[in-house]
Amino acid sequence: MGLSSITKIPGVMRAQGWRVGPVLMDKWFGRPSAVAPSYSSPDTTTVTMNWVLGFPRARQVYDNLIRERIWQNDAGKRRVREVLGKKNLLGSGASSFDGTRRPVPQLEDEYVNYRPVSASLTSDPLDDLFAGLANFNLRVVIAGQVEPVSGQPGKFRVTVARVGVYVQDSYDFNDDPAGLNPKTWVSQPLGVWDETTNKVSKAPFSGGVYVTNETFRTWRTANHNGGDFLVFSDVLFTDVRPADSFVI
């Protein structure tokens, strides 16, 4: 009983009916060794916004960012000005812009705000979202128009007619230490697994093998495979009606 190898974990995931978690983990196992931030090529096809928003904890974050219109809060306005400035759109005339149409990995230069979706092994269910993404970000991109404000040099009015939201995540097994002393770091727990019974749990059980991020790093060192990569979903578009208008 237990695990003959952590490469058996995707099979246990599939036995739970999970779809995305095992695909991403199999890709990690199958890639040559690569450690974030020196990533291997990104994955842009496995995760969809439709799948992500089927989980209430992700849906709540998405609904909140749309309701709060985070593209026009203070942080959003600063980022909008930065993005439009780099496009040379803060000039003497009106211009249209669309930061939603480029290939998704390139939208990292276009997003104007984001919200994290956090995962907790103690409070959140051990499900496909946890297995596939755990902690990830929902990024926001916008499309609309920008024009100078009459009588206010250096000020511009932005009108947002459309927003897009997508997932950005780093698929890796690197710990995020709370302190500066590596001796105090505790490797992130990733559940207890048994390939014989196809059982997975947050809590220890007879025959189960406790797995952490360090388990995967050790496997990578021994096998010279295990490639960290960035994950991007498709983009979910929403028309803003009536359009938002604000000054940057």
Q: What is the pLDDT of residue 99?
A: 84
Model confidence at 182: pLDDT above 70: no
Q: What is the pLDDT of residue 167?
A: 98
Q: What is the pLDDT of residue 184?
A: 55
> pLDDT for 41-81, tens place per residue?
999 999 999 999 999 999 999 999 999 999 999 999 999 99
Q: What is the pLDDT of residue 100?
A: 87
Three-state secondary-structure class, residue 118: coil
Q: What is the pLDDT of residue 177?
A: 62
CA quadruple 186, 175, 47, 32: dihedral positive or negative? negative
Record the tokens describing residue 21, joined without a space: 């978690």
Residue type for 154, please? G
* % of the chain with per-residue pLDDT over 90: 85
Q: What is the pLDDT of residue 180?
A: 56
Task: Flag the least confident range among 88-92, 154-158, 230-234.
Answer: 88-92
CA atoms of 129 and 51, how far apart (whole Å): 9
Q: What is the pLDDT of residue 119?
A: 86
- Strand pairing of 229-232 and 40-43? parallel
- Range 243-248 average pLDDT: 96
At 98, give phi and psi (nearest 5°): -145, 100
173-210 exposure pattern, b = at least 16 Cβ within 10 A, e = fewer: bbeeeeeeeeeeeebbebbbbbbeeebbeeeeeeebbe
> pLDDT for 129-151, tens place per residue?
999 999 999 999 999 999 999 99
Going by the DSSP 8-state scheme, the letter that residue 34 receives in this structure is B
Neighbours of 7 (CB within 10 A): 16
Domain ranges of the chain: 6-247
